[in-house]
Amino acid sequence: MITRLSATLESISRESIPIATLLPNPSMAIEALIPAYLADEMEAQISKRVTLHTKTLLEAQGQGTSFVPRLIGFGSADEREFFETFTSVKGVGTRKALRALTEHPSTIAALIIAKDAKALTKLPEIGKRTAETVIAELTGKVERFAGDAIMSGVVQSSSSIEPALISGPASEAVSALMALGESRPEASRKVEIVLGRLGQDADTDTIVQAVFAGG
């Protein structure tokens, strides 16, 4: 089984699921399916050496037919593990998940923690029922994929996904973080991830303290 591949990135094909073509050497080309968020990140790396953390699956070509091996690539081992966790949800298969992942796994994990079904439905392939199922099945399983990146302000959503509307103590906590130099989107996301752990009844001081303690 191929679990990691370093090679020159020749091209990225924008199919319904992006395909990265890599050249381990001049006489060999390997195609790997990649999620959309990674295709966006890798486009600037064409002709450069890249490393994909991969998994191999056998894909049926129809009832009664043979299986075809498919290589799927990710930017890190953690991203691959998030994908495996995401596809453990009932009704979320490999191809559906690849099409849905237009956002970095850390952003999606944060939305799951915040129980933000509305934002999840803005991902391709994810309807209301699927979003609710994802939250129900993955709550408590994805914290480590979101925490550090969200708290450090590294993850910034670049799509139309919007954070859930917050009010009361949560809104006051956002204002407090902004007064300390955070941007509104960053402060909102930090508060959302903390609320996902503390619950909606947490007071302002508790929320702010949890943000600075790392949740």
Q: Which one-letter amino acid corresponds to residue 29?
A: A
Which of 34-38, 136-140, 174-178, 196-200 is predicted with the least confidence, judged by mean pLDDT?
196-200
* Domains of the chain listed by start with CATH number: 1-75 (2.40.50.140), 77-162 (1.10.150.20), 163-215 (1.10.8.10)
pLDDT for the residue 154? 36
pLDDT tens digit string along 54-103?
A: 999 887 766 666 778 889 999 999 999 999 999 999 999 999 999 999 98
What is the overall mean pLDDT for the chain? 84
Q: What do you get for the CA distance between the two ends of the chain, in Å?
A: 37
| pLDDT over 70 at 158, yes or no | no
Which pLDDT band holds residue 23 (cuts at 50, 70, 90)? Answer: very high
Residue 48 zone, left/alpha/beta (φ > 0; ψ -120 to 50; rest): beta
| Bridge partners for 13 per DSSP | 19
- Mean pLDDT along residues 189-195: 79
| pLDDT over 90 at 152, yes or no | no
Cα–Cα–Cα angle for 67, 37, 2, rounded to 5 degrees = 40
| Bridge partners for 141 per DSSP | none
Contacting residues for 17 by C-beta, under 8 A, at least 6 apart: 33, 34, 35, 95, 98, 99
Rounded to whole angstroms, the Cα distance separating 150 from 19 reads 28
